[in-house]
Each structure stands twice: as C-alpha cells, then as structure tokens.
C-alpha cells in the first residue's frame, strides 16, 4: 500500500524557518514528479515547489528564494526547507508524487498525496 507521510509542520514567528519531510512507504520517488502543495483556508490548493525526476527544482514565484525542495531517493524522502517564513505562508502543506506529465504544478500528474501538515506563521 502506497503511503506518503508528512512531518515537520508547526508554528513559528515571521522570519523563522521550518523543514518539512515527506516519507514514502511502499513507494519510490525515483523517476517521479515530486511536489509540495499548500492550501490556506478559503483558497485553492496551490503548488509551491516541485522536483523533476532528474532532480531539477521548480518554485512558485511567491516562495522562490525562500523555499528549497530536495529529494533523497535512497531514503524515499522528500524535503521542503522553508526560510524567512511570512504570515501568508500559513496553510496546510501536502506532499505529492506522480508520473511525469505536463505542468509540474497541475494536480493531474499526482496519484498519491500525503495527509497534510499544518504550518502557521505569526506576525
């Protein structure tokens, strides 16, 4: 059974940092799209960071320069390092993995999702 499990969420003050982890059970990130999405109350789920099968990253404009996505295929784990956090980053963060197809921040390629982890940034 495929399972993605996020950890590392929490509450921080603006300017702080958090590192999210996504561990894959019964699954390998190798050869897959991997991405972090987030959903704030009343808003649609949006992609914030993705990693292509070859390891190249892609970022939403709102997080570029502050967030870093990485993946350790040997550990079947994906990470999101979030620095200089802002109140606007408050959301539930989800990791996702799927077959490479089209735009990395579209929902279509992703067949597996984690349960989400809350990130709250206070001003």
What pLDDT is recorded for position 21?
98
Span 5-48, pLDDT tens digits: 999 999 999 999 999 999 999 878 889 999 999 999 999 999 99
Whole-angstrom distance, CA of residue 119 vs CA of residue 58: 21
Closest of 2, 59, 53 to residue 26, by C-alpha: 2
What pLDDT is recorded for position 26?
86
Span 86-104, pLDDT tens digits: 999 999 999 999 998 889 9
Whole-angstrom distance, CA of residue 58 vs CA of residue 83: 16
What pLDDT is recorded for position 14?
98
Sorted by sequence, the CB contacts under 8 Å of residue 94 that are 6+ apart come out as: 6, 36, 37, 38, 39, 45, 113, 114, 115, 116
63 pLDDT band (50/70/90 cuts)? very high
Is residue 84 predicted with pLDDT exceeding 80? yes
Sorted by sequence, the CB contacts under 8 Å of residue 93 that are 6+ apart come out as: 6, 9, 20, 36, 37, 38, 48, 80, 116, 117, 118, 119
38 φ, ψ to 5°? -145, 155
Whole-angstrom distance, CA of residue 14 vs CA of residue 24: 30
What pLDDT is recorded for position 28?
84
What pLDDT is recorded for position 58?
97
What pLDDT is recorded for position 13?
98
What pLDDT is recorded for position 27?
79
Whole-angstrom distance, CA of residue 117 vs CA of residue 93: 5
């Amino acid at each position: 059974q495929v399972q993605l499990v996020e950890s590392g969420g929490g509450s921080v003050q603006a300017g702080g940092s958090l590192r999210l982890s996504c561990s894959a059970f019964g699954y390998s990130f190798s050869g897959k799209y991997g991405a972090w999405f987030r959903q704030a109350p009343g808003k649609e789920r949006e992609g914030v960071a993705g990693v292509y099968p070859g390891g190249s990253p892609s970022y939403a404009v709102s997080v570029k320069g502050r967030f870093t996505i990485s993946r350790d295929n040997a550990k079947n784990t994906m990470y999101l390092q979030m620095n200089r956090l802002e109140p606007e980053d408050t959301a539930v963060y989800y990791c996702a993995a799927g077959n490479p197809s089209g735009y990395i921040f579209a929902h279509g390629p992703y067949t597996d999702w984690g349960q989400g982890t809350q990130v709250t940034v206070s001003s």
